[in-house]
A and B are shown apart, each in its own frame.
Chain A
């Protein structure tokens, strides 16, 4: 029995996904929970498992297609049911059966005549009387029964004396029609050959067992992005949702009023943007310029667009001030090179990043105002006492910020390991949505590519971001002399609504102090 499988909601509030790759082909046998496809949403790629044991009948999409959630994705032939399609050879039977009471009415009465005539056992043969005169002999009570069972008495074979039609004859005729309807209904393709009405009847008269449902009707419950039936929202919010084309019931709700889910205008807007970001995510690939072309058009969609929106939002909402400073780090270089080998023995590649992270966290502990979030509608600034530091990573698809959670609780090697892994995942596009959420402060290492100072844009709604310039030998003044030392320039941007210049300056000083004197980190 072919069973359609619709694309389920693969991530919070997501409305569609891109089919990255099929993991099975048509005709393959699959087991329940076996992954059959990779679908990408919101920068994360997920596996879609098979819900059934069976075989793959039809793959409805091509790799690279954007599949709306709720659309038919794969059709399976579920194991244990008849997969044959059947030509509806017995549609007449279904009609004449008539016990599906809906068949009543003029149609039900007329059809048996024509279709039964086609059947080998047309009524005419039996009684010479009936044939000669075209008249059926039956007592009034039997005629009434025929009407009640929606049987045309003219075509019933009479087994009474001289071919008189008896009650049993009528009943037998009524049931005989049913049996064939049952067969027709039980087989998948009845929908194809027979008239729609027959299909409906066949559905009703056939036994349950999924057969009726699958007869092409496809009436399954519509799948929604966020399964809510009712959402409370102010009328203005509803208008916003309408304008943005957002289904209120799909917007992730974090609040409740009156015992029901409630969404704010902001939540609606956020969700709308998130939707858009997924809309054409992977389509944003630059095309190879043809020979001699003066312009290349790159789609402004997907990750690029998400980044753009976020950058704009951050920069235009928070008044950015960037504090630049630098310090010589010969001791740090020393420590790292000494520890590098030890780390390698443990299979960890030790970079400067773990040291930087530790330094930042130490400084943040003294400057909680930089590890905070401004919630304007609540009129509060929330200073966080957990330290999830995002690490900006450049990938093919664009900038991504995996988050290392609870940096203060992790050791150097652990941090090193995690940073490396996250960065790799980001580049591989195997990173999950959760791994990129929940940050309280961000580090961006543009210096890995090059450059000394920059004006990084804060990862909204955080209030601070620290950019690392390239570690290079630069001239510094020591004891009045100019010497060459490895230096690490930092650029710290802050949201001046929340953080003042003096705060960031002190913060910067502290970070640099740790980087300058890494042994201080041992005291943390």
Chain B
């Protein structure tokens, strides 16, 4: 632009092209709205680029390497070596395929793509600052805006990410070699997934966790198999300790920790990974210009349609309340797109499933037994152990169980918890049951293919009904 400032007008300006933003954009485009999708880094956001996808790619690759190297009991003898940079290269290929897929889908649905960082000028105008050798900045005038800027890793004091000694999850996914040892601060799902991957690739991992157990939020019988397995893989756990500081020691680091009893710990490793949580990205948007501010949890308050306190502005995904999960963001993106197109959509899902891709995997949906009781139901619980599952035994992975929680009187399935092989896939059936208001009988009466892990689901419901076949009923 030589002189002057020609604004671009649009119906819907979506800030952030992650699983929330790009889904909202595509849906809105399908519904005939004029959409402008603004992204400052890469299409697909954290999930596609430095989150879900790359981590699962590496988990799969690491698994494959590990399995190959440890299947002598099946009569398989292999000498496995891993070239990390190639593994990462393959992972990058997968990521590229998906992100360019996102771009193509957006364009095919008439979405206008704009690269840059957006901030609010007022409740109907954004300023988009172009990065790199772009041309300064431009205005985007919108009827509605959707904030889908996602989250970033939390940085703890004294542990600024430098990409070399102090790593965040993004850096771990880009390692060009397998470190000999790592300290991982944080025993939540990211810390556990990373520690499992790295341990399987031969790294000596120490997990430092402030609380006294891994995976807070998951019941002990769910995380027990995971912890056991991790320990068997060589991961050592330091509970009740919080990372205090670090210093360079030779090529690596020395991490010092504090504990309640005052003793504290000292751990040496090649590097330290901090994976204590993620925080919503709201500070780059100049929200003051529209009178919005984050609530106590750091999110923007929204109604059941995703609308913030400002009528023309919506928020979805990690910046909105609720679990920080990609599929929740996508659902919200769809709902907001439909709302903007005038449809009577709303976030009225009954439950959001969640999965942890550790070994074994954990997956949950809906209510636990305690939650069902608190809600006033009389819970009926059914549980089927994988060691009673024919298929599980054939995979060599039979730790874990499928547990179903239902209302005793009506039989409505209220929730499920699974730990074991393919838990992340198996949970889908039960998520459907919860959403549909299916009863135990509905699932129990459905024929499940044999031999599959899904039979465990069927048997768990039968167990709740008191007539499981392949396990003892109470």
Contacts and interface: CB of A to CB of B under 8 A. Distances in A.
Q: Do chains A and B touch in the complex (CB under 8 A)?
A: yes
A143 B407 CA distance: 21
Contacts of A132: 376-377, 409
Interface stretch (A158-166, A309-317, A422-430): A158-166
Contacts of A147: 344-346, 348
A134 to B, nearest CB: 8
Nearest to B377: A133
Contacts of A139: 435-437
Interface in B417-461: 435-437, 439, 441-442
B375 interface: yes
Interface residues of A, number: 23
A144 B435 CA distance: 12
A250 B442 CA distance: 77
A133 B344 contact: no
Contacts of B346: 147
A24 B49 CA distance: 88
A133 B436 contact: no
A151 to B, nearest CB: 11
Interface in A125-163: 127-129, 132-135, 137-140, 143-144, 147-148, 150, 160-163
B410 interface: yes
B412 interface: yes
Interface string B286-316: 0000000000000000000000000000000
B376 A137 contact: no
B313 to A, nearest CB: 19
Interface in A36-60: none
Contacts of A161: 411, 439, 441-442
A133 B435 contact: no
Given A133-B375, A143-B348, A164 B409 contact: no
A162 B435 contact: no
A107 to B, nearest CB: 14
A129 B407 contact: yes
A162 B375 CA distance: 18
Interface string B346-381: 101100000000000000000000000001110000
A127 B348 CA distance: 21
A127 B435 contact: no
Interface in B225-249: none
Contacts, number: 53
Contacts of A133: 375-377, 407
A135 to B, nearest CB: 7
A439 to B, nearest CB: 70
Given A133-B375, A140-B436, A162 B344 contact: no
A71 to B, nearest CB: 43
B436 A162 contact: no
A422 to B, nearest CB: 72
Nearest to A127: B410
Contacts of B407: 129, 133
A164 to B, nearest CB: 5
A162 B411 contact: yes
Nearest to B435: A140
A162 B410 contact: yes
Contacts of B343: 148
A165 to B, nearest CB: 8
Contacts of A165: 437
Nearest to A136: B437
B409 A128 contact: yes
Interface string A402-442: 00000000000000000000000000000000000000000
Nearest to A104: B344
A137 B412 contact: yes
A160 B438 CA distance: 10
A150 B346 CA distance: 12
A161 B437 CA distance: 9
B351 to A, nearest CB: 11
A129 B407 CA distance: 8
Contacts of A143: 348
A138 B376 CA distance: 18
Interface in B264-298: none
B375 A164 contact: no
Interface in B326-357: 343-346, 348-349
A100 B376 CA distance: 37
Nearest to A141: B436
A228 B134 CA distance: 65
Contact of A150 (B344, B377, B436, B441): B344
A170 to B, nearest CB: 13
Contacts of B409: 128-129, 132, 162
Interface in B162-203: none
Nearest to B436: A139
B437 A137 contact: yes
B336 to A, nearest CB: 15
A147 B436 CA distance: 16
Contacts of A150: 344
A160 B442 CA distance: 12
B410 A128 contact: yes
The 7 closest A-B pairs by CB, nearest first: A137-B437, A162-B410, A147-B344, A129-B410, A139-B436, A164-B437, A132-B376
Given A129-B410, A129-B412, A137-B412, 19 more contacts: A104-B344, A129-B377, A129-B407, A129-B409, A132-B376, A133-B376, A133-B377, A133-B407, A135-B375, A138-B437, A139-B435, A139-B436, A143-B348, A147-B344, A147-B348, A161-B411, A161-B442, A163-B410, A164-B412
5 contacts: A133-B407, A134-B376, A137-B412, A140-B349, A164-B412
